[in-house]
């Protein structure tokens, strides 16, 4: 079992609808060494391959392929409490939590590690989201993965927009950006957002709203401004006044 080299000073949950710029923003932060980025999907692939969690836990009947909250809790435990994910001063959880119960899971994890927790919600008009999704490409060469479905946005070549600027290989569309899949993902996010907000509010978790409709989510200076120390580190989020442990919700 890996041993964490340092405890995180802060967990930041970066949430938002599909196409709002979460992957681009967190990728820029990671590239500059400002943060470690945790992506549940990637860690689930790693856990499945390594056998850290029983494989039957990964089975799901969800039409979007989402895991149950119980499986998510097991993955988060492996990542942060068993030291499978290397910790640093700032851990950005991209596109997580996705349910109210997952807010509780992440909060309990931060509590056990003595870390602060805050949530940043990116948002944009639905029409802007659709344009961004329609213009988004991925590269299977620069982002090899176990299921053959690259996720992180790639940068097209300036002269040949069908090829990756980094490796010159052909780009493809993200499967989840199919118009019907996008609409289902957006609807699910909108339906679950009130519960996420309410869960954060119930525990006094610092929560920021950032509208990216008129701002480029890849603008690093813009993002770092909102990832300010006052928002992230040393925040009293009720860690010393933990209420009863919530009962896990059933799979959704």
CATH number at residue 96: 3.40.50.300
156 falls within a domain: no
pLDDT of amino acid 215 = 66
What's the angle, vertex CA 60, arms to CA 117 and CA 122, rounded to 5?
35
pLDDT of amino acid 8 = 59
62 falls within a domain: yes
215 falls within a domain: yes
- The rounded distance, in Å, linking the Cα atoms of 84 and 3 is 8
Name residues whose C-beta falls within 8 Å of residue 243's C-beta, 6 or more positions apart in sequence: 203
pLDDT of amino acid 177 = 73
pLDDT of amino acid 242 = 27
| Domain range enclosing 46 | 10-124+189-232
129 falls within a domain: no
Count of residues making up the chain:
252
94 falls within a domain: yes
Q: C-alpha distances in angstroms, 115 versus 78, 112, 164?
A: 17, 8, 38
pLDDT of amino acid 243 = 28
27 falls within a domain: yes
Mark the ranges of the chain whose per-residue pLDDT is less than 50: 2-5, 146, 220, 228-252
pLDDT of amino acid 252 = 36
In tens, the pLDDT along 158-196 reads 778 888 888 888 877 777 778 888 899 999 999 999 999
Whole-model pTM?
0.77
| Total domain count, the chain | 1
pLDDT of amino acid 223 = 55
Q: Supply 71's token pair.
A: 């499986």
pLDDT of amino acid 245 = 31
92 falls within a domain: yes
pLDDT of amino acid 105 = 97
pLDDT of amino acid 248 = 33
169 falls within a domain: no
- Dihedral in degrees, nearest 10, Cα atoms 108, 113, 116, 119: -50
């Amino acid at each position: 079992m890996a041993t964490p080299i340092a405890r995180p000073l802060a967990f930041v949950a970066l949430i938002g609808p599909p196409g709002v710029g979460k992957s681009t923003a967190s990728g820029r932060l990671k590239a500059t060494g400002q943060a470690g980025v945790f992506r549940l999907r990637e860690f689930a692939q790693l856990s499945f391959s390594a056998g850290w969690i029983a494989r039957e836990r990964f089975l799901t009947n969800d039409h979007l392929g989402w895991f149950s909250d119980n499986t998510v809790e097991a993955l988060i435990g492996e990542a942060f409490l068993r030291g499978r994910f290397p910790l640093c001063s700032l851990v950005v959880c991209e596109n997580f939590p996705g349910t109210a119960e997952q807010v509780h899971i992440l909060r309990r994890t931060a509590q056990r590690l003595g870390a602060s927790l805050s949530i940043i919600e990116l948002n944009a008009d639905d029409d802007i989201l659709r344009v961004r999704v329609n213009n988004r490409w991925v590269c299977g060469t620069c982002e090899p993965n176990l299921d053959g479905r690259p996720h992180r946005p790639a940068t097209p070549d300036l002269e040949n927009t069908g090829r990756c600027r980094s490796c010159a290989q052909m780009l493809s569309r993200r499967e989840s950006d199919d118009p019907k899949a996008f609409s289902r993902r957006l609807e699910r996010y909108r339906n679950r957002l009130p519960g996420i907000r309410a869960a954060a509010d119930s525990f006094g978790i610092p929560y920021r709203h950032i509208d990216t409709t008129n701002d480029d989510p890849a603008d690093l200076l813009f993002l770092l401004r909102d990832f300010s120390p006052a928002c992230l580190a040393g925040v009293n989020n009720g860690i010393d006044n933990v209420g009863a442990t919530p009962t896990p919700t059933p799979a959704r």
